[in-house]
Structure 1
């Protein structure tokens, strides 16, 4: 019976444990074949358990009912939405293309458009897909996920800023190609699991230039987008690269890709860092990175993430489920919520020790 380790942050209720779980204890704290419920998530957090072995797919799992008889629990196969299927196809395509680019092949903009346009049109119609992007990503294929997700987030930010649909689509394609120059970085550096040396870090910083060289001849991509690809690691305070540009020299399109790039990177699991809540990340971008990004672009991202209809179900960082009751326009990421289990009303703008960890999306 096939099983796989799942990060606690990605663990869903109803999954079935594939081994006894110990926590420096003589006896298991949770037995094999236990069906995960909300209380178990609290136990994992209390004992600092980060990963759990879980049965995969549609399996028949032996368990015990209240009368200690053996019964069959059927574990349902998680539903895959058409959007998720298209997204994963895009990631697989990009994985293959990176190998071609490494070998010297040119960027095929027609193929890129065919892959990205259905995805960006879906996200422009239903922004809630943005909340699922970091759950699709994984450490092994992070770079390809990052390219696709950065493009989608950049497209949505562009739309939110009032640009037309054509510009949003161009920005999505530019966002996807912003890191194509990473294909020119030696694999030993790009996939290194330990700290980069100063020389290796210098090489990584060349990727915007490599990306620009790869896209500059594409007639289907506007020159503004090519410039944005080149500048997407520049920062308004001069702390970025490759040229350390400052202020208005850095275009608004560059800033859109920059914010999308940082947001997805910080909300995804990496070799050296666990993924963080989108709500926590946009607070960090606004507060800790102040002065580096165009405030209009940051505010557009905040409006996208925090634009939660009343009644939206969320999970808090303390693992409680809650329902959004009121949006505080002075603290958009910290609404008034009602705990589903107890009915208690909590104002997240005054209780700062926890935050919304994820939106509970449907379909």
Structure 2
């Protein structure tokens, strides 16, 4: 019988082994649950368990002769670690991706199993932390921009894919596409990658080859789906044909690439980079909806807009004039120009009527 972890009580007997996200055994079948074990399972973010010998009221019982207290050996099977925040899990994924990228630069082949281990547990946690999706740019550090960018693109791509109705299997594949879309940067000169001023024309042309390099690194990996490879190759293509490296447009681009293209552009614009300051999600969304209209898949843009609306009410922001404010209402027709309450004066201001003002930062 499967129950939620909150229903689990001392004395329940586990009917199946419980594994962590990395397939490490946390507790074995037939283990008698103690308070120690229950806390440990919660620490590892286990949500449901299979138990046996339950009474109708949900309380566990033990056959006669079995001691309720678990043995020391059973206790040692569960290692207690503190519950990590989403930010901590995210930073761990970034550092893991950075380590992989260093290996790719030195010629190490890409191991898809390791890529999955980095991003899939974080995708699972995102289900319970969707409000974090607009805060990812705040975690970014410009000295580790590439690693932050890859993880953020993977997370936003997964979020958009879910909103667009993809099943979990494809959501995972789209997230992997996002994480790998810049793996070809490992074939670009580190001088270009770390440059703190605008690139020369020649350097920019070299940089624009990274989707091709990424595809070449992945094309022979049999365990990787073709959709992921095409998504990686085409993530800089645009719906109107203005992208690169092939200049394909509309339905010529793989559906995965259309999602990752938006996530990649959005995260690049909101994040702090070696040669450019970060911008607020509101300002970036406004640019995507107006100046870049027709370049991105409209359904994906609409889902991003809905996310901004959903997670905005009550958000503390800093305006372009330096004043701090709180968002009190978001009009669906003007999602990037909400009504805000100025913190210092309590005045209510509609940014729709104040074209010179925009949201510079969210807290």
Q: Does 1:205 align with 2:208?
A: yes
- Which residue is equivalent to 1:49? none
Change (3 A) 1:167 1:273: same
Query: How many angstroms apart in 1 are the aligned matches of 2:203 and 2:96?
Result: 27
- Equivalent pairs counted in the alignment come to 281
Deviation string 1:277-299 (CA, Å, 9 cap, x unpaired) is 11000100111112211111111
CA contact (8 A) 1:124 1:159 kept: no
- Which residue is equivalent to 1:187? 190
2:352 to 344, 349, 354: 349
Query: How many angstroms apart in 1 are the aligned matches of 2:176 and 2:197?
Result: 31
Query: How many angstroms apart in 2 are the aligned matches of 1:234 and 1:114?
Result: 28
1:161 to 155, 161, 164: 164
Change (3 A) 1:323 1:188: closer
- Residue ranges of structure 2 left out of the alignment (5+ in a row): 1-82
Q: Does 1:328 align with 2:339?
A: no
- Which residue is equivalent to 1:11? none
CA contact (8 A) 1:308 1:324 kept: no
Give how far 1:195 is off: 3.6
Query: How many angstroms apart in 2 are the aligned matches of 1:272 and 1:265?
Result: 12
Give how far 1:322 is off: 3.0
What TM-score results when the alignment is normalised by the length of structure 2? 0.72
Change (3 A) 1:221 1:303: farther
**Equivalent residue runs for 1:166-181 within 5 Å:** 166-181=169-184
Give how far 1:219 is off: 4.1
SS at match of 1:210: helix
Deviation string 1:14-54 (CA, Å, 9 cap, x unpaired) is xxxxxxxxxxxxxxxxxxxxxxxxxxxxxxxxxxxxxxxxx
1:260 to 259, 263, 266: 263
- Which residue is equivalent to 2:251? 248
Deviation string 1:315-344 (CA, Å, 9 cap, x unpaired) is 333343333332212112222222333322
Query: How many angstroms apart in 2 are the aligned matches of 1:277 and 1:298?
Result: 16
**Equivalent residue runs for 1:280-291 within 5 Å:** 280-291=283-294
Q: Does 1:123 align with 2:123?
A: no
Query: How many angstroms apart in 1 are the aligned matches of 2:230 and 2:170?
Result: 14
SS at match of 2:148: helix
CA contact (8 A) 2:195 2:274 kept: no
Deviation string 1:162-184 (CA, Å, 9 cap, x unpaired) is 21222222211110100001001
- Which residue is equivalent to 1:140? 143
Change (3 A) 1:124 1:359: farther
What TM-score results when the alignment is normalised by the length of structure 1? 0.72
CA contact (8 A) 1:313 1:323 kept: yes
CA contact (8 A) 1:182 1:210 kept: yes
- Residue ranges of structure 1 left out of the alignment (5+ in a row): 1-79
Query: How many angstroms apart in 1 are the aligned matches of 2:214 and 2:325?
Result: 43
Q: Does 1:318 align with 2:318?
A: no
Change (3 A) 1:106 1:333: same
CA contact (8 A) 1:315 1:358 kept: yes
- Which residue is equivalent to 2:60? none
Query: How many angstroms apart in 2 are the aligned matches of 1:268 and 1:359?
Result: 12
Q: Which has the larger displacement, 337-346 or 161-170?
A: 337-346
CA contact (8 A) 2:177 2:256 kept: no
Give how far 1:240 is off: 1.2
- Which residue is equivalent to 1:108? 111
